[in-house]
């Protein structure tokens, strides 16, 4: 592989500079992405077309010297394949035609076959991997069981998560069955992505941070560990690193570091030096520039990149990223300023 910085950094091996990629790097901030999306019927039409999913995955790599490609897809493909009817409403985000709110509905959920029910994702992975031709690693991903469950129970996005929290506190055994079923489905899905060519994996626990302390450990992190226990961690003699990212998850860094993941994603609310002290040498860290910094001046962006690099400090085991996905209003130029700054300033931390 021409550039394996990401894979080395995720395993805390020596690198010449800090690798950098962006969550949602294939997205609405890029005019070429918007043009491609307009050529198909809706967001899922783009996800379900392997050639176009490959095209938008590669678009940011044509613009920027990024150190990874990440599969273009959506975390909700798994519950959609369970027959819940995923659709997107303009300005309202994802919704499901059918919800899952009772023990009977949970028990009736089928486990999707990743090769049949989600074959379009595997075709996209293999197409992207072929087109990358060893340029940079390809990251596959999935949503965490808890995060997927919030959408399935609530029927879409939520501000209070009242319906799923009511299920948690009225019938925790039913919720645990749902999370276990989702963990098994996600593990099969991620293993199929590895077979198709994914070289690293990321699990997005977007809504884990809304849970109470013990509930997070019992319902979110435990389900994540159930996935890990089933994952293929090596292929063709190469390790498949796994990144776990809980938004607003800084309160559980020690437990996350003990869970068995290779790296933890961090949002912008945690100090990297403090996070590094808390996790020690157990895991690599990924993050954690506030995406809103990219709305600032070039000087501000460069200063903030230096701050993040300086917080992590000298040594290996850091992947530079945003603390969450890049937002649509960011200019492509400013994203490039950030990437160039990481290239310029990070080698000093790896001598």
Express the helix, strand and coil content of the chain in percent, nearest 5 each. Answer: 50, 15, 35
Q: Of 12, 17, 24, 276, which is the active-site residue?
A: 24
Number of CB atoms found within 10 A of residue 300's CB: 14
SS3 287: strand
Q: Which two tokens stand for residue 305?
A: 């990149």
Q: Which of 4, 28, 63, 235 is catalytic?
A: 28
Is 12 catalytic? The answer is no
**Is residue 37 among the annotated active site residues?**
yes
Residue stretches of the annotated binding site for substrate = 24-28, 74, 151, 206, 324
- Confirm whether 8 is a catalytic residue: no
Token representation of residue 173: 């055994």
For residue 124 the two structure tokens come to 């996209």
Q: Which residues are annotated as a binding site?
A: 24-28, 74, 151, 206, 324
Examine the residue annotation and report whether 151 is marked as an active-site residue of this protein: yes
Which of 190, 111, 179, 189 shows the shortest CA–CA distance to 145? 179
Distance between CA 259 and CA 282 in Å, rounded?
10
Contacts of 309 (CB under 8 A, 6+ apart): 18, 318, 320, 342, 345, 346, 349
Cα–Cα distance for residue pair 243/310, rounded to 1 Å: 22
**Given 4, 37, 120, 184, the catalytic residue:** 37
205-217: b (≥16 Cβ within 10 Å) or e: bbbbbbbeeebbe
Our answer to whether residue 24 is catalytic in this structure is: yes
Residue pair 53/73 in contact (Cβ under 8 Å)? The answer is yes
221 neighbors 259 (Cβ within 8 angstroms)? yes
Q: Among 12, 29, 74, 216, which one carries the catalytic annotation? A: 74
Alpha helix positions (H), the chain: 5-10, 31-38, 42-47, 50-63, 77-79, 103-108, 119-132, 145-154, 162-170, 172-196, 213-215, 222-230, 253-258, 272-279, 298-312, 332-345
Q: Which of 151, 189, 205, 216 is catalytic?
A: 151
Residue 234 bridge partners (DSSP)? 239
List active site positions.
24, 28, 37, 74, 151
């Amino acid at each position: 592989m021409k550039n394996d910085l990401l894979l080395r950094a995720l395993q805390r091996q020596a690198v010449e500079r800090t690798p950098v990629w962006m969550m949602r790097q294939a997205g609405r901030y890029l005019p070429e992405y918007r043009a491609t999306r307009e050529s198909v019927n809706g967001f899922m039409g783009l996800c379900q077309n392997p050639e176009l999913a490959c095209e938008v995955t590669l678009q940011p790599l044509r613009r920027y010297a990024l150190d990874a490609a990440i599969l273009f897809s959506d975390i909700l493909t798994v519950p959609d394949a369970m027959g819940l009817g995923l659709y997107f409403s303009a300005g309202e985000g994802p919704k499901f035609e059918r919800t899952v709110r009772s023990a009977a509905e949970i028990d009736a959920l089928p486990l999707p076959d990743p090769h049949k029910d989600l074959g379009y994702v595997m075709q996209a992975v293999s197409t992207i991997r072929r087109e990358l031709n060893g340029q940079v690693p390809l990251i596959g991903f999935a949503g965490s069981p808890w995060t997927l469950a919030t959408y399935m129970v609530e029927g879409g996005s939520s501000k209070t998560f009242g319906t799923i929290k009511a299920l948690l506190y009225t019938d925790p055994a039913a919720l645990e069955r749902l999370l276990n079923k989702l963990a098994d489905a996600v593990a099969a899905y991620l293993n199929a992505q590895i077979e198709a060519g994914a070289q690293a994996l990321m699990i997005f626990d977007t809504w884990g941070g809304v849970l109470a302390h013990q509930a997070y450990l019992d319902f979110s992190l435990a389900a994540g560990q159930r996935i890990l226990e089933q994952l293929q961690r090596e292929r063709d003699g190469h390790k498949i690193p796994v990144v776990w990212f809980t938004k607003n998850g800084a309160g559980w860094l020690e437990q996350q570091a003990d869970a068995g993941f290779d790296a933890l994603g961090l949002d912008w609310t945690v100090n990297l030096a403090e996070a590094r002290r808390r996790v020690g040498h157990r895991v690599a860290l990924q993050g954690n520039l506030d995406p809103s910094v990219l709305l600032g001046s070039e000087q501000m962006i460069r200063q903030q990149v230096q701050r993040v690099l300086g917080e992590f400090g000298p040594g290996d085991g850091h992947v530079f990223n945003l603390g969450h996905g890049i937002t649509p209003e960011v200019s492509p130029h400013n994203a490039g300023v950030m990437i160039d700054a990481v290239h310029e300033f990070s080698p000093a931390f790896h001598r």
